[in-house]
Amino acid sequence: MGFGLLFIGYFITFIMSINSFGFVFRLAGYVVIALSLMRLRRFERRFYYAYLSSLLMILFGICDFIYGVADKLKYELPAWISAAKPAANWAIFMTEAALNFTLLLSIAVLAGGVGLARLQRGAWRNMIITGAYYILDTTRMLFFQGNIEANRYLFPIALLLRFGCVILNLIIIFSCYMRICPEGDEDMPERESRPKFVRAFFDKWSRSKKEFQEYRPGEDTRDGSDGNITKGEGRHNQ
C-alpha cells in the first residue's frame, strides 16, 4: 500500500541522517518518501499534498547535497550560490513542516474512514506536538538566533521535541502499515510485527527448547548417558 516504504523513507530522512553525511541520507530519504506517497495518494486524496511537499523537499535536498559535497571536498562555490544557502535551509525547514502536517492530516482522515479511532487520535496528537516543535524552533531561529543565553535553554528543548515528534510519527506510520490495507486484502494473514531476523532467532530458540525437552529422566540418550542433565548440558545438535 505504501506505508512500509514510507516508514523506511521517514527513518532514513530523520534518523539515519544524524551524521556528517546527513545530506546524502536526507536526499535518499526524500526520494523514498515521494515514492511511497505516489502509492498512498490513490487511497486518500490528501496524501497528494504531502506528495507535492516531498517533491519540493527533493528539489531543496539537491541544493543541500551540493552544499554538502562542496564542503566535504573543500570546493569553493560561486558567491551567489553560497549566499543562497540560508534561504535553502529555510526552504527545507518549511517544506519539512508542510510534509509532516499534510502527512499526519492524511493519516488521521484515512484512519477515521476505516474506523481506527485510536490511530486517528494518535495522528491528531502528533500534529499538536509537531506544531509545538515548529513554532518553538521557528521562534528560536527568528528572534534568538544570536542570543547564546536564550539558546542554551531553547535549543535542547527544541531538539528533544523534534526527536519526540520523529519517534511518535514513526510509530504512527508503522501502526498504519500493520493495521491498514487496501480493500480486498482484509483476509490476508496478519503482518508479523517483528523483523525477520528476530523471528528467525526466536524460531531457532523454540526448536532448541523443544529438542531439549524431549529428554526425560531415566531415558537413554544418544551418548548412552542416563538422561539426567545439569545446566549447560544435555543439548544436542549444537
Cα angle value 198/201/202 (rounded, 5°): 90
Convert the pLDDT of each residue in 99-151 to its tens digit. Answer: 999 999 999 999 999 999 999 999 999 999 999 999 999 999 999 888 888 88
CA quadruple 20, 67, 60, 33: dihedral, nearest 10: -30
pLDDT at 98: 97
DSSP structure class, residue 194: S
Q: pTM (2 decimals)?
A: 0.75
Residue 30 has pLDDT above 80, yes or no: yes
Cell 515528534, located at residue: 165
pLDDT at 193: 46
Of the two residues 192 and 8, the one the predictor is more confident about is 8
Cα angle value 229/234/236 (rounded, 5°): 170
pLDDT at 67: 94
- CA dist., res. 55 & res. 181, Å (int): 25
Confidence of residue 231 (pLDDT cuts 50, 70, 90): very low
pLDDT at 22: 93
Residue 195 has pLDDT above 50, yes or no: no
- CA dist., res. 89 & res. 55, Å (int): 16
- Please give the share of the chain, as a percent, with pLDDT higher than 90: 64
Among 172, 178, 17, which Cα is nearest to 96's? 17
Mean pLDDT value across residues 188-203: 50
pLDDT at 148: 86
Mean pLDDT of the chain: 83
Among 187, 171, 190, 168, which Cα is nearest to 179's? 190
Residue 75 has pLDDT above 60, yes or no: yes
pLDDT at 207: 65
State the DSSP H helix or E strand holding residue 27, giving kind and residue range, or none if neither: helix 22-40
Residue 171 has pLDDT above 60, yes or no: yes
- Please give the share of the chain, as a percent, with pLDDT higher than 70: 76
Convert the pLDDT of each residue in 144-170 to its tens digit. Answer: 888 888 888 999 999 999 999 999 999
Convert the pLDDT of each residue in 172-181 to its tens digit. Answer: 999 999 998 7
